[in-house]
């Protein structure tokens, strides 16, 4: 999977994404990440890429020309006819695991990060294929949202996680939150690990984990439960838990 980020702050994204699991996946060749500095495509002698908004108003707007030039240079270089170009904006669809799964099917993804009051609408009309938000709050730019999205998509790329199975079974798979996890020691500050996890009885452990996932989802995200794939027995368990 290849990620390209059109940005005014290439160091921010490259530094942020070259650590931990994602950095390791890049080193091992499962992912490639490249930041393109939009400022390099300014034709202004001071490398300016923004200007005042027509019609007045606060702040500055990123100009269409440097953004479009940066995109077309990238497109020509990688030689693909159609590229998915995701503009990160609070006005977009809200990112979800479902969207992450859909994006993970692509071979190349281009992220366009705006700053100031945004990007000239004409550039967006010409190059953006998707508009994506990471939540109902406003950040200073699209870099952090692009990094969040890249992180979430990357962990679905085969080979990126050490253990391929774990991507499937984590929170939001099946619309249930994750069950609680414990590691050594068996007792910490007087709090013991649930006995069942020490029993070695795999079927009972699996059942307990599903029940814990259901209880957590009921407590913190009951909205997810209507889409959850529960067995008849698990539905009964849920109804009992609701009554408590």
133 binds ligand ADE (CB under 6 A): yes
| Paired residues of 104 in beta bridges | none
Q: Whole-number minimum distance, CB 152 to ligand ADE, in Å?
A: 13
Window 32-61: residues binding ligand ADE (CB under 6 A): none
DSSP state of 137: S
User: How many Cα atoms are found within 13 Å in the side-chain-facing hemisphere of 146?
Assistant: 32
Measured CA angle at 156 (ends 206, 34), to 5 deg: 155
* CA nearest neighbour of 36 among 13, 61, 55, 63: 13
| Contacts of 54 by beta carbon, 8 Å cutoff, 6+ apart | none
Residue by residue, DSSP assigns 91-133 as EEEEP-HHHHHHHTT-SEEEEEE-BTT-B-HHHHHHH--EEEE
Residue 82, CA distances (Å) to 4, 109, 127, 128, 222 in order = 14, 11, 10, 11, 40
Give me 14's structure tokens: 């490259």
Number of residues that bind ligand ADE (CB under 6 A): 11
Per CB under 6 A, does 134 bind ligand ADE?
Answer: yes
**Cβ-Cβ contacts under 8 Å for 20 (sequence gap 6 or more):** none
Which of 22, 123, 145, 177 binds ligand ADE (CB under 6 A)? It is 145
> Should residue 135 be labelled a site residue for ligand ADE when binding is judged by CB under 6 A?
yes
**Least distance from C-beta 10 to ligand ADE, angstroms?**
17
- Does 139 engage in binding with ligand ADE (CB under 6 A)? yes
Nearer to ligand ADE, 16 or 142 (CB): 142
Coil, strand or helix: which one is 144?
Answer: helix
Nearer to ligand ADE, 16 or 145 (CB): 145
Report in angstroms how near the CB of residue 147 gets to ligand ADE at its nearest.
11
Contact 100, 152 (CB under 8 A): yes
- Under rule CB under 6 A, residue 103 binds ligand ADE: no
* Nearer of residues 23 and 141 to ligand ADE, judged by Cβ: 141
Q: Tell me: does residue 149 bind ligand ADE (CB under 6 A).
A: no
Contact pattern for ligand ADE over residues 177 through 206, marking x by CB under 6 A: ------------------------------
Query: Of 11-19, 134-142, 195-203, 232-240, which segment contacts ligand ADE by CB under 6 A?
Result: 134-142
Based on the shown chain and the rule CB under 6 A, indicate whether residue 63 belongs to the binding site for ligand ADE.
no
Q: Which is nearer to ligand ADE, 54 or 137 (CB)?
A: 137
Find the binder of ligand ADE among 7, 42, 63, 89 (CB under 6 A).
Answer: 89
- Interface with ligand ADE by CB under 6 A: which residues? 88-90, 133-135, 137-139, 142, 145
């Amino acid at each position: 999977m290849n990620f390209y980020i059109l940005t005014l702050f290439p160091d921010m994204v490259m530094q942020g994404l070259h650590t931990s699991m994602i950095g390791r996946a890049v080193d091992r060749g499962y992912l490639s990440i490249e930041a393109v500095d939009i400022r390099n495509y300014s034709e202004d002698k001071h490398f300016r890429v923004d200007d005042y908004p027509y019609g007045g108003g606060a702040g500055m707007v990123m100009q269409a020309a440097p953004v479009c030039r940066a995109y077309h240079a990238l497109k020509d270089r990688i030689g693909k006819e159609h590229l998915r170009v995701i503009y990160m904006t609070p006005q977009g669809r809200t990112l979800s695991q479902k969207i992450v799964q859909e994006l993970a099917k692509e071979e190349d993804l281009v992220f366009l990060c705006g700053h100031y009051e945004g990007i000239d609408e004409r550039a967006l009309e010409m190059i953006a294929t998707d508009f994506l938000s990471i939540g109902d709050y406003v950040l200073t730019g699209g870099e952090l949202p692009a990094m969040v999205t890249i992180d979430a998509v990357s962990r679905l790329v085969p080979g990126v996680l050490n253990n391929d199975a774990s991507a499937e079974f984590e929170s939001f798979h099946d619309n249930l939150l994750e069950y609680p996890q414990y590691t050594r020691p068996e007792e910490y500050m007087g709090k013991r690990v649930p006995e069942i996890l020490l029993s070695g009885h795999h079927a009972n452990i699996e059942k307990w984990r599903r029940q814990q996932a259901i209880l957590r989802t009921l407590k913190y995200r009951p909205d997810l439960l209507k889409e959850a794939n529960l067995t008849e027995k698990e539905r009964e368990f849920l109804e009992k838990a609701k009554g408590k």
